[in-house]
Each structure stands twice: as structure tokens, then as C-alpha cells.
Amino acid sequence: MREIVFDTETTGLSPANGDRLVEIGCVELVNRVETGRTFHAYFNPGRAMPSEAEAVHGLSDRFLADKPAFDELVEDLLDFIGESPLVAHNASFDFGFINHELGNCGRPTVCHSRMIDTLAIARQKFPGAKHSLDALCSRFGVDRSLRVKHGALIDAQLLAQVYVELTGGRQIGLGLGLVAETIVEETRVETPVLTAVTIRPPRPHAPSTEELERHSAFLAAMADPIWHRVESRG
């Protein structure tokens, strides 16, 4: 089963208020294993970047000035995501921006039936806990040391690991290979080497006459042994 885990960065919180998509990062999973295929792009939003948004993701007007508009890369994005389910954290936010940009290009929007929301899954599994991406990385031991600011691709890569843990898990760090590469190791059956075993004669365990005499003297020296009491009761 192929799934796409993705994240977006924007100029703000609402496309209805004129905010635009400025970055998208996508990670391909097949049978819940990363294949190594990704899609990543920056977009010129055609408007100024609010300082509040820039403080979150660090994408400035100067940096985005020479980046393509969304409609210039829309075909590449659609080819990558195909018809696969789309996984995001607080997915309605990301779907809202993608569909707004697709609508601006005159393209069909992505059906919400393809949406998988890891925030909703986390809230169901861990009610009352913190459900941010950072909190879930801490819960599942996902290394986020490279995440200085929000970034669409690195957040998608972190979310892919969190999503796997949320939906059944596989121990992180086992070094699972790509799903497309199956390594079958040859099992070698070798002829066993027979080792000669020397059978020793049984050791004598009967007490010697001296040991029996010492035992009798030991018993005779005991005052009021318990077996005398048992015998008297019988």
C-alpha cells in the first residue's frame, strides 16, 4: 500500500484571507516503510511574508523571490502524490491550502476521503496528552535534533516515523531496508562434527567403615534428638 506523508509551510493560517502556500514536502511510504522517494518544493507566494510566519519557518521574501509559482510545479506534485492516501498532522489545514492552490490553477481539488490526520489518531490514542509533532517525536523516540525551525520536508520525514508508530509501530533503529529491496540470506547447513566421548566409570558413593563410626558417634552425642520424641509418641 502506497501512502504519501506531507507537510506544508504558508504565509499564514487562512487561504480565505489571502494566505498562500510557500513550501511542501512529501515522503513516500509503501507498506508503512519509507522508500527514499521524496518531493520538495518552495513557491513564490506573490505576496509579502508576514513577520509572524517568517519567525516560524524562516522563509523570507528575499529567499522566495526567485522560486517558481505553484502552478509551475503543480504537474510534478500531482504526478508524485498520484491517487495515494495523504497523511498530514492537522490534515485539514494542509488540505485547505493545497486545494486552494489547485483551485487557483483550475485543477480538481484533492478529495478529503484520501485524508489521514495523525493529529486525530494521536488524540484518540492518547487523550489528555500533548499531540504536537514535537511531543509525539519525544513519545516515540524519534530524533528531531536537525529540526531548528519548521520545514516542510524535515517535518514530513519526522511525521512519517511518527505515523508508523501511531499505526502499529516498528522499532526505530533496527535499520529496516527499503521495501523495494528484499535481502534473502542463504542459510547454510553444515555436517555436524562428531566428537568422541569417554565414558567414565561410576564413582563409589557408599560410606566407609570409618565414616559410619563417626556418624554413629555424632548421633550418640546429641541430647534429646527429635526422632526419639517421634518414636515415643508412636
The CATH number covering residue 56 comes to 3.30.420.10
In a domain? residue 71 = yes
Provide the annotated active-site residues: 150
Number of domains in the chain: 1
Extract the annotated binding site for substrate: 7, 9, 52, 57, 155
pLDDT above 90 for 84: yes
In a domain? residue 80 = yes
Q: At what angle do helices 91-104 and 118-125 cross, to 10 degrees?
A: 170
In a domain? residue 111 = yes
Give me the domain span that covers residue 77.
Answer: 2-166
pLDDT score at 193: 53
Write the pLDDT tens digit of every residue in 167-226: 987 655 444 444 444 333 443 445 455 555 566 666 666 777 888 888 888 888 887 777
Cβ atoms within 10 Å of 213's Cβ, excluding its own: 11
Write the pLDDT tens digit of every residue in 106-132: 999 999 999 999 999 999 999 999 999
* The pTM of the whole model exceeds 0.85: no
In a domain? residue 28 = yes
Extract the annotated binding site: 7, 9, 52, 57, 155
